[in-house]
Chain A
Amino acid sequence: MTESLAITKFSDLANPTRFLALAARLLPWMAGLCCLLFAIGLYLAFTTEGDYQQGDTVRIMYIHVPAAWLSMMCYSVMALSAIGTLVWRHPLADVSHKAAAPLGAAFTLIALITGSLWGKPMWGTWWVWDARLTSVFILFLMYLGIIALNRAMDDPSKAARVSAVLILIGFVNIPIIKFSVDWWNTLHQPASVIRMDGPTIDGEFLRPLLIMAIAYTLLFFTLHMMAMRNEIWRRRIATQRRMAARTASREV
């Protein structure tokens, strides 16, 4: 039985037991690496020089920007899982996009709150109805809508398929968020790290930012894997409860 648990193909992950074994082996390493990177990133974030204009408030960037990236990446992961659900009927894909939705909502909320805190000293207001802020806020609402839809249905596999359709339709919003700052001239600054002609941001800020971005990404995947593991366990418990109830009713 131990040999058959080895994972050679991606489709082998469809077996939840194999996935659980893999998760148990990977999770401590991922969590440890994540903590280490966060320690380095936060240390750098607080020791590097402040901006000559923005002063110390520029440090909010190290929290805000990676969270905003992750909020979009999480939706992309969900969209990929949704394709997995609808095209290959991959059972783990169902679990994956269900587990990712609350995480994405959390990252989006972090990005919105830190952005608001950063906006108060820089722009003089907590909130403006600018293109990017509005579209990120809509992304947040969409995450909540997907969570609500998932909660509203009893049958998990049907809920997964139906919300997969919704996720794919909502994916239209992601390019709108990405390019909103280029299309409409608004208050939020355009992309300064990922662009064709190299980053326009100084190396002093770039190093902690990149380390924080990697740390955030690892955090997402660690939490995602944990959430998927919990979801699989939850489904097993539900099945066992149902079986127990059935046998109990038969005995009576």
Chain B
Amino acid sequence: MIDLLLRDLKLSVRAGGGALIGVLFFMTVVAVIPFGVGPDLNLLSRIGPAIIWIGALLAALLGLDRLFQTDRDDGSLDLMLMQEQPLVLTVLIKCLSHWLANILPLVIASPLLGLFMNMNEVAIGAVMITLLVGSPALAFIGAVGAAVAVTLPRGGLLVSILVLPLTIPVLIFGVSASYAAVEDPAPFLPPFLILVAITMFFSVIGPLGAALALRNAGD
């Protein structure tokens, strides 16, 4: 299992800087926003947490279609299907390595973008913590989409369409927790704990569903 984690990490780091492209996309999306809404710093600081969350969500979708597709192309997916370890565990490890390689850099890059958005320290910290807690759910939900579309020749766009509606609860509670940290009357803990609950919930359902889909999508 550790070997699989390391292998996937190495592959994603060495194969054309996949993680860097994700971060670059994230920064570009966030940088485009001020051109659209105008350089009003007050407005930017108000919508900043939401923009960063949406940017991270979109960037997390980027590498998803490659999650199982490359393994299917070189045949290692068949080995994973046939090995004795439960497929659910394998999928879980693959999700974790995808999260470490592609989504964790986004979380690390988010404070910098928070500065661009003229957010104060509390808001930056809140966005970073909520992203850290909520983004694994994106990887787990995305795994289902990636597994469902694994046999399609050009499944990338379809994966995004299928996955985005399911990620909306994560977005809602992530953003509301970030805002709750900034605005005084709203308590921070309830939405944050719901976000944790969503992540744990999908960490069970996501790999289960993805494993089921992979078994059924095999030829």
**A→B interface (CB under 8 Å):** 86, 134, 138, 141-142, 144-145, 148-149, 152-153, 158, 161-166, 168-170, 172-173, 176
Contacts and interface: CB of A to CB of B under 8 A. Distances in A.
B152 interface: yes
Interface in B158-202: 158, 161-162, 164-166, 168-169
A165 B151 contact: no
Given A145-B165, A149-B158, A149-B162, A168 B148 contact: no
Given A138-B165, A165-B216, A148 B158 contact: yes
Contacts of A142: 165-166
The 5 closest A-B pairs by CB, nearest first: A161-B216, A165-B213, A145-B162, A138-B165, A169-B209
Contacts of B147: 165
A112 B185 CA distance: 34
Interface string B132-172: 00000000010011011101100100100110111011000
Contact of A166 (B155, B162, B164): B162
B217 interface: yes
A224 B158 CA distance: 26
Contact of B165 (A141, A164, A168): A141
Nearest to A166: B148
Contacts of B144: 165-166, 169
A119 B161 CA distance: 28
13 contacts: A134-B168, A142-B166, A144-B161, A149-B158, A152-B149, A162-B151, A165-B212, A166-B144, A166-B213, A169-B141, A169-B144, A169-B209, A172-B205
Q: Is the interface of B mostly helix, strand, loop or mixed?
A: helix
Contacts, number: 64
A162 B217 contact: yes
A135 B39 CA distance: 32
B216 A148 contact: no
Residue among B158, B212, B216 with the highest chain A CB neighbour number at 10 A:
B216
Contact of A153 (B151, B164, B169, B212): B151
A72 to B, nearest CB: 15
Interface in B103-127: none
Interface in B58-107: none
A169 B148 CA distance: 11
What's the interface size class on B, roughly? 20 to 34
B207 to A, nearest CB: 11
A162 B148 contact: yes
A165 B150 CA distance: 13
B161 A145 contact: yes
Nearest to A135: B168
B158 A152 contact: yes
A138 B168 contact: yes
Contacts of A169: 141, 144, 166, 205, 209
A102 B66 CA distance: 29
A82 B148 CA distance: 14
A162 B209 contact: no
Contacts of B155: 152
Nearest to A161: B216
Contacts of A165: 144, 147-148, 209, 212-213, 216
A166 B155 CA distance: 15
Contacts of B217: 158, 161-162
Contacts of B169: 176
Contacts of B151: 153, 158, 162
Contacts of A168: 209
Given A142-B166, A153-B152, A163-B148, 6 more contacts: A138-B168, A149-B149, A152-B149, A161-B217, A165-B213, A166-B144
B161 A148 contact: yes
A167 to B, nearest CB: 10
Nearest to B160: A145
